[in-house]
Amino acid sequence: MSITFRGDSIQIIEINETIKQVAPTDVSILITGESGVGKEVVANSIHHLSKRKDKPLIVVNCGAIPEGIIESELFGHKKGSFTGAIEERKGYFEMADTGTIFLDEIGDMPLATQVKFLRVLETGEFMMVGGNKTVKVDVRIVAATNKDLSLEVLNKSFRDDLYYRLRSINIFIPPLRERKSDIQLLYNYFIDTYCKSNNITYFGIDEDAFDFVLNYNWPGNARELKNFCESILVLNPGKKLSLTDVKKYLRIDSAESSRALPILFNEDLNNSNLNDSNSNKDKDFLFRALLELKSDIIDIKKFLVNLNIQNRQNQYYPDNDKQDLNNDFVIQKNILMKMTMDDIEKEVLIFLLDNNNGNIERVAEVLRQTPRNIYRKMKSYNINR
């Protein structure tokens, strides 16, 4: 098993450095991030790099245990302490003695149980359900959640004292869409691992299909990418994967598009025969999306009224319909409505290249695209920077 978190992005390099620093200690760790980013992988790495690596690692999903029995599961119970307790049973904390306990979805732990958990954090002591003696354990605690615990504290669903105690060391794992350089590495790893374990031959993937994979939003993060790799291999045996194959499994739906900006360089949109009404709606949506792009496009209004747009005025307006350009938002949008999707793409690409000193990697990051896709677009629009 790998003892580091897979990825070559700056974020993952920093996470691996943090893991190496904190693993040899006994300090409690809180791991945060969206579902599927790999919080359990980080917890495993911490344990296997610690001095407890030869001791038990007990994994507990707090969200999967009913509230009525979670204390019994965590702390154990005495015989006869409740209906069905026909014998004494050790809890997860006692099972993890001298080792590590990983409490996944800690944000779902009931408030009453949080009180007892805080005591374990502070003293290493607890009492079994139905017991009257204190049990002492030596356990390293690693917790994880996909919730914003600070908001849970404000909503009174998570204890503030427990939150402040846990967050002393917080490892945040960014979503996969924010570290695109890791997608190719993880894709190759998942493909290679699955092929070896199932004796499957991988025949490769077309360039445009892999571009789609790289630019997909991955709302399910690394878990979704892993499932995708396994499914597409099984259901497309003996062939090179095409864009059509990929699109069968990666569908851009409304739920996903609401979470992130749209992909600006969309070949299907550029090549489709949209009617005027739909085209206008798409351009209006794209315009609003561009305004939401922070940093480099923060002053896009000024860009739209610069000399380049003025020189193109005759192209977009007939002689009897010329308008003076000013800083008014509606006038700017009307200009965009006369532009084709290719015009908009080209203008935005030129703007970002100029304002980032021709840095392709930075432009790719802003547009959530791959550098290869940016180079390809520059070539198609004959942009030299």
Task: Provide the Cα torsion 92, 95, 99, 103; round to 10°.
Answer: -10
Question: Under a CB-based contact definition with an 8 Å cutoff, are residues 148 and 33 in contact?
Answer: no
In degrees and rounded to multiples of 5, residue 109 shows phi and psi of -70, 130
Residue spans per domain, the chain? 10-174, 179-257, 267-380
Distance, in Å, from the CA atom of 378 to the CA atom of 369, rounded to the nearest integer, reads 13
Q: Is 283 exposed, middle or buried (0-12, 13-18, 19+ CB in 10 A)?
A: buried
Question: Under a CB-based contact definition with an 8 Å cutoff, are residues 246 and 213 in contact?
Answer: yes
Query: pLDDT truncated to tens, each residue of the chain (385 aa)?
Result: 455 688 889 999 999 999 999 999 999 999 999 999 999 999 999 999 999 999 999 999 999 998 889 999 999 988 888 877 788 889 999 999 999 999 999 999 999 999 999 999 999 999 999 888 999 999 999 999 999 999 999 999 999 999 999 988 999 999 999 898 899 999 999 999 999 999 999 999 999 999 999 989 999 999 999 999 999 999 999 999 999 999 988 865 433 433 333 344 343 334 444 444 444 444 444 444 444 443 333 344 444 445 444 544 444 444 444 444 344 444 454 555 556 667 777 888 888 888 888 888 788 877 777 777 787 788 888 888 7
Which residue, among 94, 52, 58, has the nearest Cα to 76 in the 3D structure?
A: 94
10-174 is a CATH 3.40.50.300 domain: yes
Q: What is the pTM of this model?
A: 0.66
Q: Which CATH class is domain 179-257?
A: mainly alpha
Helix (H) or strand (E) holding 284: helix 276-292
Residues in the chain: 385
Q: What is the pLDDT of residue 246?
A: 94
Task: Provide the Cα torsion 121, 123, 124, 128; round to 10°.
Answer: -100
Sheet holding 170-172, edge to edge: 57-61, 100-104, 140-145, 29-32, 170-172
- Single-letter code of the amino acid located at 107: G
In degrees and rounded to multiples of 5, residue 367 shows phi and psi of -90, 0
The residue behind tokens 């700056």 is 10
Cα angle 119, 48, 35; round to 5: 70
Q: What is the pLDDT of residue 331?
A: 42
Which residue, among 16, 22, 214, has the nearest Cα to 8 in the 3D structure?
A: 16
Distance, in Å, from the CA atom of 382 to the CA atom of 379, rounded to the nearest integer, reads 5
Distance, in Å, from the CA atom of 16 to the CA atom of 3, rounded to the nearest integer, reads 9
Which residue, among 51, 1, 7, 58, has the nearest Cα to 33 in the 3D structure?
A: 7
Which residue, among 376, 36, 369, 373, has the nearest Cα to 215 in the 3D structure?
A: 369
